[in-house]
Amino acid sequence: MSEQPALEMLAQRLDALSPLDEADKAAIVALPHTLRVMKAHEYIVREGDKAENSCLLRSGFASRHKIVANGSRQIVSVHMMGDMVNLQNSLLKTADHSVQALTDAEVAFIPGKAIVALAAARPAIAIAMWLDTLIDGAVFREWIANVGRRDAKARTAHVLCEFALRQERAGLATRNKYDLPMTQEQLGDALGLTSVHVNRTLKALEEARLIARDKRTVTIADWEALRKVGDFDPSYLFLELSEEIAATRAAAELYAQH
Amino acid sequence: MPTFYFHVCNGAGFAEDEEGQELPDQDTARSTAITSARDIMAAEMRAGQLNPASFIEVEDAEHRHLFTLQFSEAYTVNRPSPS
């Protein structure tokens, strides 16, 4: 049996965002790419570098971050299997932030020029990739609100809810139990808190019986309560988008027939 | 780099650090404890509930006690000079 093509995962993700036909999917899978196995902490893209590629995370976890003048790092998003970590670099040729592997990871580097050519040739793919970057933006907006206006407990609960639904979507886990491959320090950088404060906050969530932890495994004991504490409404993740678009298209086709 | 553990005892109870942080040396561990105490106190202050009697116990990789940082050591209070 042959293995699944390296970019099949990208075709599936884009198809879920905006329905693609078989020729579209075949064109995505045929994109030129280089596969690299990366170690935890290795940089996929560095801020300030020329960015010639957009990268698909085939396995493992990665974060996007910026480092400010005092040396502090702010993680602005966390990525997992099936995510494009810098689709914007197909058009923005200088990296304005860094992407770093949180765990060992397999990454497909796809030349930006090839992505732009594909988008120009196939509008359905262009729409799907546009949606992907728009949803990136929606997640960044949510994270700004999170670190800017929610308290430590709500912030932490919020990202735990987000990671649960995204891991479920990626087929890595269920929303009730998943591996969180981040140190307290890395979580702190995502939440704008110190590592010690993160530990205390996670302990508080455990004591309130909202979550349980065993090393890096998180069990969400009371999803509804955690969602409330975290002020979490998943609509910004647009997980149901593919169903909505399919329904809209079906309605449009029905209308056209009459 | 060596590992340091930071256990917090404050108004919310005792939070044991099972993970630790890798830091260059004990001086950095002290400045990390100070920054952490300030971070926690800032959040408490925003909620209007400061617990200044809190402290952080810092241990080395073998869980030997290195020092205790009282939260009150993490800040100075500037009082207006009497006029």
Residue-wise pLDDT for A76-87, tens only, equals: 999 999 999 999
Helix A152-169 to helix A184-191 angle (10° resolution) is 110
Written as six digits, the tokens of A159 are 């990202």
A207/B13 touch (CB, cutoff 8 Å), yes or no: yes
- In angstroms, the Cα distances linking B28 to A161, A182, A194, A221 are 33, 22, 14, 37
Confidence of residue A197 (pLDDT cuts 50, 70, 90): very high
Closest CA to B70 of B46, B53, B50, B51: B53
**Euclidean distance between CA atoms A172 and A59, whole angstroms:** 10
A196/B17 touch (CB, cutoff 8 Å), yes or no: yes
Q: Which residues of B touch A198 (CB under 8 A)?
A: none
**Euclidean distance between CA atoms A218 and A214, whole angstroms:** 7
- Going from N- to C-terminal start, the domains of chain A cover 1-145, 150-258
Residue with tokens 């990871």: A105
CATH fold group of domain A1-145: Jelly Rolls (2.60.120)
User: Has residue B82 been placed in a domain?
Assistant: no
For the range A12-16, what are the long-range contacts, defined as Cβ-Cβ under 8 Å and sequence gap of 24 or more? A12/A82, A13/A82, A13/A83, A13/A84, A13/A132, A14/A125, A14/A128, A14/A129, A14/A132, A15/A128, A15/A242, A16/A241, A16/A242
Render pLDDT for B17-72 as a digit per residue (tens, 0 to 9).
Answer: 999 999 999 999 999 999 999 999 999 999 999 988 999 999 999 999 999 999 99
Residue with tokens 């009459």: A258
**Which residue range(s) make up the domain with B63?**
3-74
A193/B15 touch (CB, cutoff 8 Å), yes or no: no
CATH fold group of domain A150-258: Arc Repressor Mutant, subunit A (1.10.10)
User: Has residue B48 been placed in a domain?
Assistant: yes
B39 CA: distance to closest CA in chain A (Å):
7
Residue with tokens 């050591």: B73
- Is the pLDDT at A235 greater than 60? The verdict is yes
Confidence of residue A258 (pLDDT cuts 50, 70, 90): low
Q: Which residues of A touch B32 (CB under 8 A)?
A: 194-196
- Is the pLDDT at A245 greater than 90? The verdict is no
B33/A196 touch (CB, cutoff 8 Å), yes or no: yes
User: Has residue B58 been placed in a domain?
Assistant: yes
B63 CA: distance to closest CA in chain A (Å):
16
User: Has residue B70 been placed in a domain?
Assistant: yes
Confidence of residue A1 (pLDDT cuts 50, 70, 90): very low
What's the number of domains chain B is made of? 1
B21/A199 touch (CB, cutoff 8 Å), yes or no: no
Helix, strand and coil content of chain A, in percent to the nearest 5, comes to: 50, 20, 30
User: Has residue B79 been placed in a domain?
Assistant: no
Q: Which residues of B touch A152 (CB under 8 A)?
A: 43
What amino acid occupies position A136?
D
**Euclidean distance between CA atoms A145 and A138, whole angstroms:** 11
- In angstroms, the Cα distances linking B75 to B37, B38, B54, B70, B71 are 9, 8, 13, 10, 8
User: Has residue B16 been placed in a domain?
Assistant: yes
- Is the pLDDT at A67 greater than 90? The verdict is yes
